Amino acid sequence: MKYFYLCVSIILSELYLILKLGRYNDDFDDGEDIAEFDDNDFAEFEDVSEDPAVDVEKEPPPRAAPSSTPIEDDEDEATVENEDGQDEFEDADDQDMYSKYDNEEFEGYEKTNPSFKNTLIYREVPAHLQNSWESYYMEILMVTGLLAYIMNYIIGKNKNSRLAQAWFNSHRELLESNFALVGDDGTSKEATSTGKLNQENEHIYNLWCSGRVCCEGMLIQLKFLKRQDLLNVLARMMRPACDQVQVKVTLNDEDMDTFVFAVGSRKAMARLQKEMQDLSEFCGDKPKSGAKYGVPESLSILSEMGEVTDGVMDNKMVHYLTSHAEKIESIHFSDQFSGPKVMQEEGQPLKLPETKKTLLFTFNVPGMGNTSPKDMDSLLPLMNMVIYSIDKVRKLRLNREGKQKADRNRARVEENFLKQTHTQRQEAAQTRREEKKRAEKERIMNEEDPDRQRRLEEAAQRREQKKLEKKQMKMKQIKVKAM
């Protein structure tokens, strides 16, 4: 009985093993068992509610394509094919799954499959290939800036031109009644009045008037602000400035006595005293307050001597200065006018600068930059003052004492100047002599023939000795004279 039970158990276990192995093999087997496996594979996807008939119908058609290929393959490559087959089955599975979902269950449902989206990489399109103007915003900004500059140029130029014309229109009558020649650019053959301003710049206008008693000519410069330059306009927002009218009257020698005088705003006087050649030489004292002479405190006076100030500041002049104090920047009368100090290079012998008898007026146009053409009329009284000054200076003569003082001043300045130049000239001569000596020595050294060398050396020595003797003689003579 025991043997029977043992045999039965062994047989049963073997059968069980065989069956298990067989099932494993069956999994990789294609062909006949597919239909069975289909049912098993899809068993888990089959829902109770679903119509099994539909599933069955769906499965065979997609099965037909992948199943045909594995059947034809050899048994040796069974595993590879099986795997392929299985992949195909899996794809087919997925297809079936989605088709099943799309049709039956998911209407309007967007299932996001993260595995697909993770693999997408968004590349940035280079800016210039994008069809958008927004990426070029810097360029648009630049071009806008340029357009703004051009607009400002046109507007500024026109404004300056209008102001100049307004000035000329208001002053034309006065000038034409005082000068034979009004407006000359110096290029025409005959001296005829052009009757218009000479434009030097977009912000500077000139007018030359000539042909009058007491003066050689008068140059009027309208120095407006650079309204045509946007940078300047922006700079003026930080630091306000105003338009200026500069009048320079050049006189003949007989038209003016010898004196130097200046009156103007305190700042301008301080600046001019440092800058101007003649004011720094002849008016060494600090600017005096104008209050002493009945003129507003804001004005200060630089003068060569008190007599000059008393002579210039008569009642009418004081009246002019008082009523137009804010428009007056500076008034400068000088017989030694040579312009601002010129910085000379060292070692250059200075020449006495050319001087000319000049009256220089600088007026500020009211409005501090925001000038309108109407403001130009307010400068007319100042032009009257200029004409009055020309006539006055002609009549102003220093007394004997004043004249002597003035002459002494001029002599002193000239002497100082010559002294300065003398030392410079001496130095220049000394350097020249040293260079000559060096050149000679070099020549002697370079001589190959020893005889000639000796002879040249002796000649040089003799020359030096002669020079020393001459100097000694001179010194002796001076000593004798002194004694």
Q: Given the rule CB under 8 A, which residues bind other proteins? A: 126-128, 135-139, 142, 145-146, 149-150, 153, 177-181, 184-186, 191, 198-202, 208, 210-214, 216-217, 219, 226, 228-231, 339-340, 342
Are the C-beta atoms of 335 and 260 separated by less than 8 Å? yes
Specify the residue, 97 or 231, whose C-beta has the smaller distance to other proteins.
231
* Alpha-carbon torsion (268, 273, 277, 282), positive or negative: positive
Q: Which residues of 48-70 are buried (b: 16+ CB within 10 A; e: fewer)?
A: eeeeeeebeebbeebbeebbeeb
Specify the residue, 220 or 305, whose C-beta has the smaller distance to other proteins.
220
Specify the residue, 240 or 340, whose C-beta has the smaller distance to other proteins.
340
Specify the residue, 213 or 483, whose C-beta has the smaller distance to other proteins.
213
Specify the residue, 230 or 444, whose C-beta has the smaller distance to other proteins.
230
In angstroms, give the least distance from the CB of 169 to other proteins: 20
In angstroms, give the least distance from the CB of 304 to other proteins: 24
The beta strands (E) that lie in 272-373 are given as 288-289, 299-303, 328-337, 356-364
Specify the residue, 153 or 293, whose C-beta has the smaller distance to other proteins.
153
List beta partners, residue 364.
244
In angstroms, give the least distance from the CB of 320 to other proteins: 19
Are the C-beta atoms of 185 and 194 separated by less than 8 Å? yes
In angstroms, give the least distance from the CB of 327 to other proteins: 23
CA separation for the pair 436, 251 (Å, rounded): 48
In angstroms, give the least distance from the CB of 420 to other proteins: 19
Compute φ and ψ for 44, nearest 5 degrees.
-65, -30
Tallying the residues shown for the chain, one arrives at: 483
* Alpha-carbon torsion (284, 288, 294, 296), positive or negative: positive
Give the residue among 317, 379, 9 at the shortest CA–CA distance from 168: 379
In angstroms, give the least distance from the CB of 206 to other proteins: 8
The beta strands (E) that lie in 277-423 are given as 288-289, 299-303, 328-337, 356-364
Task: Please report which helix (H) or strand (E) contains residue 249, including its range.
Answer: strand 244-250
Specify the residue, 303 or 358, whose C-beta has the smaller distance to other proteins.
358
71-to-26, 122, 271 alpha-carbon distances in Å: 14, 43, 112
List beta partners, residue 205.
199, 222
In angstroms, give the least distance from the CB of 238 to other proteins: 17
Specify the residue, 117 or 351, whose C-beta has the smaller distance to other proteins.
351
In angstroms, give the least distance from the CB of 184 to other proteins: 4
